[in-house]
Chains A and B, each alone.
Chain A
Amino acid sequence: MANHLLSIILLTPLVGLLVLFCVPSSNKQALRLVANVAGLCGFLISLPLVFRFDRTIVGYQFLEDVDWIPFLGVRYHLGLDGISLLLVMLTTLTGFLAILSSWNAIHDRLKMYYSMLLLLQIGMIGVFLSLDFFLFYVFWEIVLVPMYFLIGLWGGPRKLYAALKFFLYTLTGSVLMLIAMLVLYFQHHAQFGVYTFDIEKLLQLSMPLATQQWVFWLLFIAFSIKVPMFPFHTWLPDAHTEAPTAGSLILAAVLLKMGTYGFVRFSLPLLPDAASTAVIVQVVVGLSLLGILYGAFVSLVQKDWKKLVAYSSVSHLGFCTLGIFALNPNGISGSILQQINHGISTGMLFLIVGVVYERRHTREISDYGGLAHVMPKFATVFAFAMLSSAGLPLLNGFVGEFTILQGAFERNPWWAVVGVLGIVFGAAYLLWLFQRTMLGQITHKENLRLPDLSLRELVVFAPLIAWALWIGIYPKPYFDVLEAPVMRIVERVQPGVYPAPDALRTVEVANQ
């Protein structure tokens, strides 16, 4: 059992899915209960990872490696390092919270709804655990389907447009990723005579810079659509706005991170020469900085509450890609931490929209105002989420943003100057949103009798609040688990610049 922990984590939602199929569609309470138990189990079963993770091990742990499609060289190869550990924990937690938050929000086709959430869960966990590019690709594609249905069936008024746009846009990227994957696959055969999609083996490829560069651009488009980076972001506001709350939560907290994870796991280590080319770094960093400011400016004038939060994601993810392409330890580790932070903070902000949407069925900011008078607990939670998102020190966002900016500063101070401006504007759109919705006097009679947060809703927010405080007050454990994998990536893109711990070098040798 213990040797198959990752498979168990991966398959728990599937078990939940099978149980769910046995429950009659008419029994809504039972469906809700089963789905919530499945979500909770999914999270609880992933908890041992935290305790059994050994941060001194360089490379992957909890490995599972068996043949899947032998004639293609495809393997069922799972493993976990510090980077995937954090993202998997984020996935299992927010996956559960997404299910829990849907209790009162969804009333039709419950069985299918919860099935889609559980299926989504499998796909996302799989993406973060796969050590085989083909397997990764399969999970990457699996994620599309349930999200398409979540938006298309349970979404808002323009749900079909948004769902189709989301699907086609991401699929375009996937096709390009497929080509890049095949190039690596055949290159490996050409160089070593073996067909494999194994990430660790692909690391040994030595490709000319030109090849690396165009493979990089193929992967770049795939990943940057998913992140999304400016100018590939326009699917995001539509998808977020139309998706049901749980969908937005998952989309923001986890799905976007698949893109940044792709950069960290594939683009940088597999194509180190391309990723450190001056032109490529300048283009990607330029787009990141542009995205930071662009997202912030556009957020500022949105009239739709959810769209505002969606555009803020573009801004925040700009910080993540900025950190990655600073190509130094603090930039990359800060970026990964910020990916978690964004999941927590923006996840909360979407849940907050969900709470009022459930009560009022409108997302127009001007339909609200003065809610703090009638929903004081809600206002407090919202203020907390706002401050966490705006990067107030002692909360999670600050640690991530500062580390990223320090990394960027180390490489080029002007990048940090632009990034810091993003922090200023980040506070602006959130504060103004808070003022327009929570403060002032109540001007709509519908808002007079809004119930405050229920216990179930508080339970949804509580773990995210606790997590935000933990990262803000004591972030050291996070950097501890990130140290080994991040230093390994940095050693690939900037060899010899940072003194690597001795352990790292020996593993490199052992791999060859």
Chain B
Amino acid sequence: MNVLDSIWLIPIFPLLGAALMLFAGRYLDPQPMSDVAIDPALAEELKDDPEYKHLVSPATAHHGHDDHGHDDHGHYHVPPTRKFVGYLCAGAVLLSFLVSLTAVIQLAGTESRSHEVVLYDWLSALPMALTNGQTVTLSAQLGFLLDPLSAVMLLVVSGIGFLIHVYSTGYMAHDNGYYRFFGYLNLFVFFMLTLVLANNYLLLFVGWEGVGLCSYLLIGFYFHKKSAGNAGNKAFLVNRIGDAGFLLATMLVFVTFGTVRFTEITSAVLHHPEAYATAAWGSIGVICLLYFFASTGKSAQFPLFVWLPDAMEGPTPVSALIHAATMVTAGVYLLARSNVLFQLAPEVSPIVASIGALTAIMAASIALVQTDIKRVLAYSTVSQLGFMFLAAGVGAYWVAVFHVVTHAFFKALLFLGSGSVIHAMGGQQDMRHMGGLKDKIPVTFRTMFIGSLAIAGIPGLAGFFSKDEILWQTVSSPLGSNVLYVVGLGTAGLTAFYMWRMMFLTFYGKPRMDEHTAAHVHESPAVMTLPLSILAAGSILVGWLGVPAAWSALPSFFHSFEHWLHPITGIVVQTVEHAAEGHAESHDHVVLEWGLMLLSVTIAVIGIAIARWFYIQNPGKSQNVQQAAPGLHRFLDNKWYLDAFYNHFIVRRLVLGGGHLLTRLDAKVVDGGVNGAAWLTRRISQISMWWDSRVVDGAVGLSAFLVRAASIPIRFAQSGSMQVYALVIVLGLVVIIGVYGRF
């Protein structure tokens, strides 16, 4: 069976799941009104009111804010229809994964390794003039493109997506809004698959906005909490700022190329590079910069990363799926997808690399002082995304995508593991109240142990291979530099430190929770630990697809990631500037590569050792550091004051202040003019009334009558008999025309 022509099915399955949840969810998983629906103060007030008493459940009046509405008082039975909801939605994603896998295998067997399925012309508007003088129709297809790049993303999204669905059936089992959660999650997978399968920029934008919507819905899943609503809004709006860049870039692509289809743009560039390789900051440069700007929103880079840490308000599986493994890597995907354009605009790449490096070290520094386990992971994600942009910025697109894949495994693992910890702790997320969990939740501990080694860059695990390759490319690429390398290396050291600080605080040492919580600590059910184990295996194995070039003794299988992506990321646009380039593999290179590898491993080990010294061997010493440099700690704790800056200057001053100012302007000046005109009319008519009654009325009766007749229209204007007025106008019109018509 040829699955390649049916790749449009891949996003359809989760869409159907989402649609079913929308229409039938409430019947499959009936819900009483949430017991946190009512404000505690109101509930207190109403609990004796005979009219409302029955609406206020006893729990409501003194309900605290816990993370996932978790009930300590025992695990009630999960009704079968609710189980069905979970199986159905997870099954939809599994189907997508299986179809994707079959399609990718078939793709590998084809010559071109590129297959396009066009369903229909989605946007098909009218003619448009291009910058080169041609006229084409503005159109974009609903079409899907399966090539090595989308294949990689497809497998990651549907595969890891499926594991997280399975995990969620356990994690969310006792939550109000179970079907809603799975509906949103399926909808997310639909949009994410659309994003990676789209064959043009505009359809990619459909997925891009769609995943943003689902992110908004899921961050605000516990919508009774104001903080969740705020975080959702923040995510949506910050992303929208980036999206503005995406839209403008796409419009510029349209007027430059006349199409937004990837294959057509690539072939246009390859056939006529000289036509597009203009001076710095021509159309292509602006396109690249704008797409990069869009990516800083979706992929949480400086200056737009502020939404991602707040996004941790969402349930933990959401953080794992959307805010670590898949959606936030969309920006990296976009850059890899546009790599031919970036090659034509070499002025943009240093900006990408610098922003990536800056974000990496900035987020890592903030992660050092976080106490919320999920926030450590959130900043870690921002930092790792920075690494990916660093790779893309130095032109190593395949490495960027490689890190997307390895990161998807170990970060999904770490988030799900933290979810398991939070689950065990009854909703507690503060690491200062954890400790000593190692033996109580052994599966969670062991898998997270692997994940933390992987992210720290310990050889043999996935993170080592991808991160080390990024650092190596930063040095060896013609676009790289030593400064970028040093920043990257420093970030790697910080990463090892803060990740192991998290591990030591959570799992080692003495338990610091209260007795009640300690008594309830339990390992999560198999539906949750099994995905952890699979992800842990992936966090080791996936890296071996892209071993360093210096390990040339290994067979080509171990270098297959680069080879697989070669048709996309290996395209070299031959322009004059590029002609000089040569990538000779010299012996010096190999020595240097081994040397740097050794250096980064040493740094990672030192990072872990310092964490161990502070949090195992000398607990309490970290307080001394904090006291020694209170300014620095405050600076990091306040996230470099970026949020404060935005809140104060952009949100309060500019947007809300501007809104209030304009509203006053609207009432006083713009509408004031209108009311002033009305006032003036009234005064004039009053004067005419006065004239009418005092001056004219005193005179001859006949003339008074005539004048009063003449003032009828004016008085009508005041009387409110508008229909008469309209009639007079129409009649007057007829008369005027009659008079003029004679001439």
In contact, B123 and A298 (Cβ under 8 angstroms): no
Q: Which residues of A are found within 8 Å of B224, using beta-carbon distances?
A: 370, 373, 439-441
Q: Which residues of A are found within 8 Å of B244, using beta-carbon distances?
A: 420-421, 423-424
Does residue B233 face the partner (Cβ distance < 8 Å to A)?
A: yes
In contact, A405 and B247 (Cβ under 8 angstroms): yes
In contact, A483 and B126 (Cβ under 8 angstroms): yes
In contact, A330 and B138 (Cβ under 8 angstroms): yes
CA distance A399 to B223 in the complex (A): 30
Chain A interface, >50% SS class = helix
CA distance A330 to B678 in the complex (A): 40
In contact, B38 and A448 (Cβ under 8 angstroms): yes
Counting chain A CB atoms within 10 Å of each CB, the highest count among B41, B247, B734 belongs to: B247
Q: What is the CB-to-nearest-CB distance from A20 to chain B, in angstroms, rounded to a whole number?
A: 19
CA distance A250 to B37 in the complex (A): 35
Q: Which residue of A lies closest to B673 (CB)?
A: A231
CA distance A476 to B142 in the complex (A): 12
Does residue B487 face the partner (Cβ distance < 8 Å to A)?
A: no
In contact, B126 and A333 (Cβ under 8 angstroms): yes
CA distance A432 to B666 in the complex (A): 21
Q: Give 19 pairs: A residue, B residue, CB < 8 Å, sorted on A.
A: A71-B741, A141-B729, A144-B722, A144-B726, A145-B722, A160-B720, A171-B725, A186-B740, A234-B666, A234-B670, A234-B674, A298-B659, A373-B34, A406-B128, A409-B252, A420-B248, A428-B655, A439-B224, A476-B123
Contacts of B425-482 to chain A: CB distance below 8 A: none
In contact, B125 and A410 (Cβ under 8 angstroms): no
Does residue A62 face the partner (Cβ distance < 8 Å to B)?
A: no
* Stretch from A278-286, A360-368, A386-394 contacting the other chain: A386-394
Neighbour of A475 across the interface among B41, B52, B123, B254, CB < 8 A: B123
Known contacts being A300-B659, A394-B210, is A424 close to B241, with CB within 8 Å? yes
Does residue B630 face the partner (Cβ distance < 8 Å to A)?
A: no
In contact, A168 and B237 (Cβ under 8 angstroms): no
CA distance A217 to B581 in the complex (A): 61
CA distance A413 to B283 in the complex (A): 12
Does residue A107 face the partner (Cβ distance < 8 Å to B)?
A: no
In contact, A298 and B210 (Cβ under 8 angstroms): no
Q: Which residues of A are found within 8 Å of B729, using beta-carbon distances?
A: 141, 171, 174-175, 178
Q: Which residues of B are found within 8 Å of A174, using beta-carbon distances?
A: 729
In contact, B726 and A171 (Cβ under 8 angstroms): yes
In contact, A231 and B670 (Cβ under 8 angstroms): yes
Q: Which residues of A are found within 8 Å of B737, using beta-carbon distances?
A: 72, 182
Does residue A195 face the partner (Cβ distance < 8 Å to B)?
A: yes
Q: Which residues of A are found within 8 Å of B40, using beta-carbon distances?
A: 441
Binding site for B on A (CB under 8 A): 71-72, 138, 141, 144-145, 148, 152, 160, 164-165, 167-169, 171, 174-175, 178, 182, 186, 195, 230-231, 233-235, 294, 297-302, 328-330, 333-334, 370, 372-374, 376, 380, 387, 392-394, 398-399, 402-403, 405-407, 409-410, 413, 416-417, 420-421, 423-425, 427-428, 431-432, 435, 438-445, 448-449, 473-476, 479, 482-483, 486-487, 497-499
Known contacts being A141-B726, A399-B123, is A432 close to B233, with CB within 8 Å? yes
Q: Which residues of B are found within 8 Å of A438, using beta-carbon distances?
A: 223
Known contacts being A169-B674, A406-B138, is A301 close to B659, with CB within 8 Å? yes
- Tally of chain B residues near chain A (CB < 8 A): 84
Known contacts being A145-B726, A169-B674, A374-B33, is A402 close to B123, with CB within 8 Å? yes
In contact, A442 and B38 (Cβ under 8 angstroms): yes
In contact, B223 and A403 (Cβ under 8 angstroms): no
CA distance A372 to B247 in the complex (A): 32
Known contacts being A373-B34, A441-B37, is A427 close to B236, with CB within 8 Å? yes
In contact, A330 and B251 (Cβ under 8 angstroms): no
In contact, B722 and A148 (Cβ under 8 angstroms): yes
Q: Which residues of B are found within 8 Å of A443, using beta-carbon distances?
A: 39, 41-42
Q: What is the CB-to-nearest-CB distance from A138 to chain B, in angstroms, rounded to a whole number?
A: 7
Q: Which residue of A lies closest to B121 (CB)?
A: A476
Does residue B730 face the partner (Cβ distance < 8 Å to A)?
A: yes
In contact, B120 and A298 (Cβ under 8 angstroms): no
In contact, B135 and A164 (Cβ under 8 angstroms): no
Does residue B534 face the partner (Cβ distance < 8 Å to A)?
A: no
Counting chain B CB atoms within 10 Å of each CB, the highest count among A399, A405, A441 belongs to: A441
B119-158 vs A, Cβ < 8 Å mask (1 yes, 0 no) = 0111111111100000100100000000000000000000
Q: What is the CB-to-nearest-CB distance from B474 to chain A, in angstroms, rounded to a whole number?
A: 34
